Amino acid sequence: MTSDLTKLVELQAVDAELTRLNMLLAAIPKTLERIESQLAAAKKRVEDARAAIKASEATKRAHEQDIQSLNDKIAKFRSQSSSVKNNEQYKALLSEIAQAEAEIGTHEEKILEVMENAEALQGKLSEAEAALTAESAEIERQKKEVEAASAGDRKAAADAVAKAKKLRAAVEETLLATYDRIAKSRGRALAEVLEHRCTACQVMLRPQLLSNVRAGLEVVHCDTCSRIMYYIPEHNIQKVDTSASSIAHQAEREWMFVPTLGTQGAFAVFINHKGAAKMKAYDAQTGEAIAQRTEKNAVFQTIFAEELRDARNLFVDEPSLEEKFKDKLPVEVLLDMRHQLPKA
Ligand SMILES: [Zn+2]
């Protein structure tokens, strides 16, 4: 890898960390708001309990005033009784007094109800006040926690900004502009290549592209997602070791998608073995074997150059797939291979 590309790989990691930190920092006001809203709810419960007590006291006072005015009325009736002129008037007066006394009785019952209820309301208020005290302490604790975490994040973000600035200053200007342009539209500008595949869009690389990326002498873009690709040999060693018994053997066989064969392309294996080049192709739609050619004293890279020109590498785990399925590839293999192709 060029030193510029190495720096860009590091820059991408720093940029990703910065994005993560900025998202955390941007979420802080909302988090504090949510914490505060819990406190507001607890405060409201106390206020509601106080308001209910006030309302019940007002009701009690209204009943007491009504009783007072009824008593005044009764006193007035009694004072009139000495001046009544006949039995009819006297009876009417007594009836008025009896009615006022009955009304007083009703008000007194209502007052009793209010007083009984007052105890429950007082209990609710004490509960709400205790909850508010507990909630306030908890909220203070949570706020301190958020503030401490955000101070740490702010410091880390400042460090990341400084590191990014330093890296950017060390990368060639045009390449940096390309990095910024792709990062802006794609989120990430760089993609690692693993198992012949762009890890960002999962599409297999053309052989020429793969060898350019491996060589690491120039900036290579993915055909499909146009990200800048990079290759770290250590990340690919294990796969090569486990996918075939020997690296040399592996190099002598390649599965490819060949768009020029079959009705809509073919999956074909190209093999160099004992001085002969072999190609076997299966229709990409049906999986049927459609072509097989063996050329003596040849290597597939040159003898089948025409088929290979627009071909794409496929990743195939099975070492001798074409011997296992001589006439037709099974559906699951077809699906896996089709999945490795870029979406039309
Ligand atoms: Zn890609």
Q: In what order do the strands lie in the sheet with 312-313?
A: 289-296, 276-283, 266-273, 253-258, 312-313
Give the span between the Cα atoms of 5 and 322, in whole angstroms.
39
What is the Å distance from ligand 1's center to 209 Cα? 12
Give, rounded to a whole angstrom, the gap between the first and last alpha carbons of the chain.
31
Contacts of 122 by beta carbon, 8 Å cutoff, 6+ apart: 53
* The pLDDT of residue 104: 97
Rounded to whole angstroms, how far apart are CA atoms 243 and 253? 12
Give the end of a domain, one of 243, 266, 299.
243
Q: Are residues 165 and 181 in the same domain?
A: no
Does residue 279 sit in the same domain as residue 325?
yes
Whether residue 163 sits in one domain with residue 22: yes
- pLDDT (tens place) for every residue of the chain, 344 residues total: 888 999 999 999 999 999 999 999 999 999 999 998 989 999 999 999 999 999 999 999 999 999 999 999 999 999 988 888 899 999 999 999 999 999 999 999 999 999 999 999 999 999 999 999 999 999 999 999 999 999 999 999 999 999 999 999 999 999 999 999 999 998 899 999 998 889 988 888 988 899 999 988 899 999 999 999 999 988 886 544 444 444 444 457 889 999 999 888 999 999 988 888 999 999 999 999 999 999 998 888 888 988 988 888 888 877 789 988 999 999 888 988 988 888 75
Do 268 and 282 form a contact (C-beta atoms < 8 A)? Answer: yes
Contacts of 137 (CB under 8 A, 6+ apart): none
Contact predicate 167/14, CB 8 Å: yes
Reading the block at residue 265, the tokens are 């392309």
Residue ending a domain, among 198, 226, 243, is 243
Last residue of a domain, one of 139, 170, 201: 170
In a shared domain, residues 127 and 179:
no
Q: Are residues 310 and 328 in the same domain?
A: yes
- For β-strands 312-313 and 253-258, DSSP reports them as antiparallel
Q: Are residues 157 and 220 in the same domain?
A: no
Q: What is the largest CA-CA distance in the chain?
A: 149
Q: How far is the CA of 256 from the centre of ligand 1 (A)?
A: 18
The reply to whether 238 and 161 lie within a common domain is no
Q: Which residues pair with 230 in a beta bridge?
A: 192
Residue 187 has a pLDDT of: 85
3-class SS of residue 329:
coil
Read off the tokens for 162.
């400084």
Same domain, 216 and 288: no
Instruction: Looking at the structure, tell me whether residues 249 and 141 fall in a common domain.
Output: no
Residue-wise DSSP of 166-233? HHHHHS-HHHHHHHHHHHHHHS-SEEEEETTEETTT-PBPPHHHHHHHHHTSS-EE-TTT-PEEE--H
- What's the CATH code of the domain at 145? 1.10.287.1490
Compute the distance between CA of residue 283 and CA of residue 266 in angstroms, rounded to an integer.
Answer: 4
Distance from the alpha carbon of residue 288 to the mean position of ligand 1, in angstroms = 30
CA of 326 to the centre of ligand 1 (A): 33
For 122, the token pair is 């007082």
Prediction pTM value: 0.53
Q: Residue 117: CB partners within 8 Å, gap ≥ 6?
A: 56
Residue ranges making up the domain that contains 280: 245-344
In whole angstroms, what is the distance from residue 332 CA to residue 81 CA?
A: 111
CA of 314 to the centre of ligand 1 (A): 15
| Ligand 1: centre distance to CA 208 (Å) | 15
Helix axes 173-186, 3-80, angle to 10 degrees: 40
Determine the distance separating the centroid of ligand 1 and the alpha carbon of 268, expressed in angstroms.
23
Domains contained in the chain, number? 3
Give ion ligand 1 contacts, CB < 5 A. 198, 200-201, 222, 224-225
Find the 192 Cα to ligand 1 centroid distance in Å.
9
18 and 150 assigned to the same domain: yes
Same domain? For 136 and 251 the reply is: no
* 63, two tokens: 């009943």
Show the tokens assigned to 106: 């009703």
Residue where the block lists tokens 């802006």: 184
For residue 21, what are the contacts with CB-CB under 8 A and spacing of at least 6?
A: 153, 156, 157, 160
Q: How far is the CA of 232 from the centre of ligand 1 (A)?
A: 16
Query: Do 234 and 260 lie in a common domain?
Result: no
